[in-house]
Structure 1
């Protein structure tokens, strides 16, 4: 019997990306999979594009009642709810690093006998993520940061208005270049941009945007592990105009900036774009904000800072600014792994993902994991890590956010 993949419609507001594209859906169909695609009013790809390659269109939200052996494929978190999850889900869940509400999210899987195969932790033989939105996250984050810097200069006292997804990268660049020109004219100079995690995918995206927008290379500070190993806070951050954070965080590190460093008389910093978005992580190295911004309200003002004012961009789905390019790149990179889903019990990448899920379930309070222990026969007590999990200890530069 053919393995069935069920692409769910994303429920996050203004999320236009897709884990599958018409191109990758066709490749899966050609490989013998059955692909069900939920109709979606928000997805960047039209329903008809999937239908044209042979996928079966199904109602939005129908994954809930799909047969238990169907594999549910998505991107962002499921809608907040309490019912137990019976399926295998392939998605970004953001519940493995003790983010806010992680127990509520993770416990739904063992309660229903379901499994989470988290896209954030799929790695190849070298420990590198098989697919990530990092590049486009960094690219989009830097774009909004430059626009915010310019907007604050040309519209003092006003918050940056809402932004929308772009049909393609060229249209985004046109707007960023225009903003950069107006901001530079007002400031009498170009901004100095500091990117931490510059050698990773996310950081490369941020640096590429700055260069393509027209910022001189000497105004782009490209930092990675050698520059940050001494530990923050860093005066170079507050003396720059724009700071773009592109690290992957899993262990505590000293903050990159804090109230003391921001009080420096040499502060030029007016925009922080936290692409990594560890908003609810207790070890967030940018401890100056506590909530996510959105495409509707892209910037969060940081109280107590004027001349210049200080704003944070903390949008947790930045690649949706360029949903078509981001989806195509991500889905193509993920495709070799998706093609192994029918043998996921013997495929290394999926075995590793399930082993990590099992380890994380063991960290739940006993009452929340009881059903899972009954089904699997596993019990708490093993602290052995699945292959590859240790590759995520410490800081991995440039992962970006899902």
Structure 2
């Protein structure tokens, strides 16, 4: 009988999320005829007793498990050789800070499957925390705006027990007739829209956002076509843009003149146009005062995102004149930036339950079955001490070249 282990998260700052809730772990145990062991942890959003009460076994080590499930990167010293590890490795974009992690995974002959690489036949991800990043990110953006202008006081998301508890704060949010621009069209964006609509903010078209005045707060959702244009003046083609973004110029500045809060949810490719430059911010017609950068691409499409922030210290001010970070809420001429890089951690119970449902329904059957659709095969980055064919491009990264 195969053994699946749920590891104690070891990354700092701590992460309270779990890949499977107690009831989901029980479901896997009963439906797939496997043993599920849970490493004892004092930091999870679900306690050891929660798992015990669901009939799971609590252990000090999961070293004898065949498959080990985690959420964030496993510290190098806690990697278990010759096992199958699942976690967000943050290596497939050649992230420099995790090169040693991938090298160790290869040295220890670990089969690594990254949650981010699990896709269906069409290349769409089948498991993610994106919706919860959008929910918490948009809520944090509204919290930031309230702090900046002393408009209202609402609890932080992580101070709420769960999403339903957080929704109780919505009625406290009283906004003037501001405009909020939301970029993107995927899970993250839909999560952010849930919050804005839940607060009672009306959605308007990009055209109306640019051309009309409103006597209430409004938001618009912008897709890539709304703020990128072909260099040769031709029509925008979405697939072409994602395959060859260098053929396009950015056209976002028209929105910066009309926007009070920017909620950035769109994936950004380094070869694609940025939203704006520092030089644009210092112009008189740049109106954005608060940026909730859910994407958190450091010095990427948004020049004010110069560092990630933390749940404990979620915002800072960006001084565009000097291109420097300053203490939050210190100067009206600054932009206040929220760039927490682990947003779903603020609602760990909801995020874990949603993620676990996708794991049980979309991944476990293939992992413990025949994998006829190649779900697990396509997502496997390393095996038996080597990079798989699909991820052979990472060899130069591993070699430090």
TM-score by length of 1: 0.79
Shift of 1:256: 0.9
**Residue 271 of structure 1 aligns with which residue?**
290
**Residue 17 of structure 2 aligns with which residue?**
17
**Residue 222 of structure 2 aligns with which residue?**
223
Alignment partners' CA distance in 2, 1:210 and 1:365: 44
Contact in 1 for aligned 2:319/2:333 (Cα 8 Å): no
Alignment partners' CA distance in 1, 2:199 and 2:14: 25
* 1:327/1:163 CA distance change after superposition, 3 Å: closer
* 1:355/1:110 CA distance change after superposition, 3 Å: closer
**Residue 246 of structure 1 aligns with which residue?**
265
Contact in 2 for aligned 1:162/1:295 (Cα 8 Å): no
Contact in 2 for aligned 1:110/1:368 (Cα 8 Å): no
Shift of 1:335: 1.0
**Residue 297 of structure 1 aligns with which residue?**
313
Alignment partners' CA distance in 1, 2:119 and 2:267: 14
The equivalences for 1:260-339 within 5 A come to 260-279=279-298, 284-304=300-320, 306-336=331-361, 337-339=363-365
* Paired positions, count: 348
Alignment partners' CA distance in 1, 2:303 and 2:90: 19
Alignment partners' CA distance in 1, 2:81 and 2:178: 48
* 1:250/1:20 CA distance change after superposition, 3 Å: farther
- RMSD over aligned CA atoms reads 2.7
Alignment partners' CA distance in 2, 1:241 and 1:225: 20
Which deviations, in whole Å up to 9, do the C-alpha atoms of 1:106-133 show, x marking residues without a partner?
2111111112101011111222211111
Matched residue SS, 2:267: strand
Comparing 135-144 and 240-249, the one that deviates more: 240-249
The equivalences for 1:28-43 within 5 A come to 28-30=28-30, 31-43=32-44
Contact in 2 for aligned 1:71/1:87 (Cα 8 Å): yes
**Residue 326 of structure 2 aligns with which residue?**
none
* 1:165/1:4 CA distance change after superposition, 3 Å: farther
1:171 is aligned to 2:165: yes
Contact in 2 for aligned 1:165/1:320 (Cα 8 Å): no
Alignment partners' CA distance in 2, 1:35 and 1:82: 19
**Residue 126 of structure 2 aligns with which residue?**
130
The equivalences for 1:170-209 within 5 A come to 170-178=164-172, 180-181=173-174, 184=175, 189-197=176-184, 199-209=185-195
Alignment partners' CA distance in 2, 1:106 and 1:296: 29
1:363 is aligned to 2:384: no
* 1:23/1:200 CA distance change after superposition, 3 Å: same
Shift of 1:361: 5.0
TM-score by length of 2: 0.79
